[in-house]
Amino acid sequence: MNSPTALNKRGTKIEKWGQKFDSQKELDFYERFILKQVNPDHVSVHPHFVLAEKKLISQGASINSIRYTPDFVIYDDFMHILHVYDVKNSFGPYGIDNGNKLTFRLFAMHTGVPVEAVVVRRHDFKAACIGVTKQLNLTGKAKTPKPIVRNDVFYNWKEATNY
């Protein structure tokens, strides 16, 4: 039996605030935690990032580019990236599959800023940076990241790398 993946659990698309959202959870996160707290000029909804250009290979064949479209990007006053959010159903394989993890790692390598996976809850949200490593513990085994719980976006993404 195949394990569930993020690809086969898509929500219903919604249009509101002049934007298109991929799901109700995504819209809820935008309305509750971004729209009310962040200057609209400092938010991008579904911006496109090219992580690797299209490449021609032998005998006229080509490899398509690798692109990533996060749900939201929040910038500071100087338009430096503060947060890159990707709204998910969970932190397990149901919400974040191996393809997501690889894309998040490529994005972080390309921009120097990791993707924060977000799970929206009733009064707050959980956030965890996916693919970011810290020093190993004394036994030599890496610990599983523990998501932080927030009700605002005014924190440094490094807080979401708790181990």
What CATH number corresponds to the domain at position 65? 3.90.1570
Structure tokens at 3: 């394990």
The residue range of the domain holding 145 is: 24-161
Residue 104 belongs to a domain:
yes
Does residue 106 contact residue 100 with C-beta atoms inside 8 Å? no
Residue 5 belongs to a domain:
no
Number of domains the chain is built from = 1
CA dist 84 and 44 (Å) reads 10
pTM, entire model: 0.83
Does residue 155 contact residue 33 with C-beta atoms inside 8 Å? no
> pLDDT tens for residues 30-62?
999 999 899 999 999 999 999 999 999 888 899
